[in-house]
Amino acid sequence: MLTRKDKRVIAAAVALFLISQPVILASIPLDTDSRVKPVVVKKGTHIRDVARLLEEQDLIRSSWLFVGCSLVAHRGKIIAGEYELSKQMSIAQIAARMAAGQRKVYTLKIVEGYNLSTVGEALEKSGIIERKAFFRLATDDVFLDKLRIPGDTLEGYFYPDTYFYSKETDIDVFLEKIIRRTFAFFEKEDIKARMAELHMSPYDVLTLASMIEKEAKIEEEKPLISAVFHNRLQNGMSLDSDPTVMYGISMSPKALTRVDLDRPTAYNTYRLKGLPKGPICNPSTSSLLAALYPAPSDFLYFVSRNDGTHVFSRHISEHNQFVTIYQKNKKKP
């Protein structure tokens, strides 16, 4: 006959067995299949819904076991994000990974001078969104109205920097975060005061800065190029900027022909007076500042020396001489 002590020992053994079984099961992988499945957990998703999703993806054997493991080991902590999981991982490993936020993060680098086309290529290459889908969003009237963009595209509003994206965030929210960086620049009190002095809107500054970005090859020349554009605007002259013409006809950088310069687009600054329709790229902070603070100069012309620098002139006769000199040098083999 069992003694009271024996019964206690047996009860303890049974209890230990019952407790250990879920722990053991949670530590055993479902399968040996190493193929990775992406699982996206959105912000605010309840732990039971996460468990159900994992079970539907055939990554765990029991949603209740996952919930229990997560609650006991990690107090139910799950960080939203995209997780790369496989059947080779146990429930305990999956719960630990989600509690630690070991999610997949995408890197997007927007370089100064990128336009919508190159931003789209960078987004697609990073695996964030397909280029065509990005263009649809970048020209969507509802999205533009929501952000109060005065133009018909998002051109010029992607602040150059390196950004990190995780798929628990909707793509429009991610892009809005980048665009808000540009808005923040124009919300500074000194910038607002300077725009008022120049009678320029943020959109005007973005447009002019994008032209400076494309024309200048070295930082030191940006204020001088800005001065030329400001002086020409004040004198009622056309801006005669090759990069704007190229943008208007979707042409890669090359020597423009007379036919190109005569094409009637909203970006042809040889044919129209004033700024083009809108920005032609995403300018750097230095280009934005150059647009706002041109060098104190009365230059009206500049031409490339074909080495990344420019020669500046005050008179058309002087400018034409330099054009002849450097165009001839450019043609030499």
Q: Contact 86/35 with Cβ under 8 angstroms?
A: yes
**pLDDT for res 256:** 80
Cross-strand partners of 165:
106
Nearest in space to 113 (alpha carbons), one of 167, 156, 77: 156
Interval 168-191: pLDDT, tens: 999 999 999 999 999 999 999 999
> How large is the average pLDDT for residues 223-249?
96
Counting Cα atoms < 13 Å in the Cβ hemisphere of 322 gives: 17
Does residue 218 surpass a pLDDT of 60?
A: yes
Amino acid making up residue 107? T
Q: Could you tell me the end-to-end alpha-carbon distance of the chain, in angstroms, rounded to an integer?
A: 109
**pLDDT for res 12:** 46
> How large is the average pLDDT for residues 21-36?
71
SS3 110: strand
For residue 287, give the H/E element and its range.
Answer: helix 285-292
Does residue 7 surpass a pLDDT of 50?
A: no
**pLDDT for res 330:** 62
**pLDDT for res 272:** 92
Interval 271-297: pLDDT, tens: 999 999 999 999 999 999 999 999 999
Interval 39-57: pLDDT, tens: 999 999 999 999 999 999 9
- Band (pLDDT 50/70/90 cuts) for residue 33 is confident
Does residue 312 surpass a pLDDT of 80?
A: yes
Interval 193-213: pLDDT, tens: 999 999 999 999 999 999 999
Q: Contact 230/294 with Cβ under 8 angstroms?
A: yes
**pLDDT for res 206:** 98
Interval 99-133: pLDDT, tens: 999 999 999 999 999 999 999 999 999 999 999 99
- Percent of the chain surpassing pLDDT 70: 89
In terms of pLDDT, which residue wins out, 30 or 202? 202
Cβ neighbours for 102, distance < 8 A, ≥ 6 positions apart: 83
The one-character DSSP state at 220 is G
DSSP assignments along 129-175, one per residue: S-HHHHHHHHT-HHHHHHHT-SSSS-TT-S-SEEEEE-TTS-HHHHH
Cβ neighbours for 95, distance < 8 A, ≥ 6 positions apart: 26, 66, 69, 70, 73, 74
**pLDDT for res 65:** 87
- Band (pLDDT 50/70/90 cuts) for residue 14 is very low
**Maximum Cα interatomic distance, the chain, rounded to a whole number of Å:** 120
**pLDDT for res 255:** 73
In terms of pLDDT, which residue wins out, 120 or 23? 120
Does residue 159 surpass a pLDDT of 60?
A: yes
Chain centroid to Cα 34, Å, comes to: 33
Domains and CATH numbers, the chain: 26-100 (3.30.1490.480), 106-185 (no CATH), 189-299 (no CATH)
Q: What is the pTM of this model?
A: 0.84
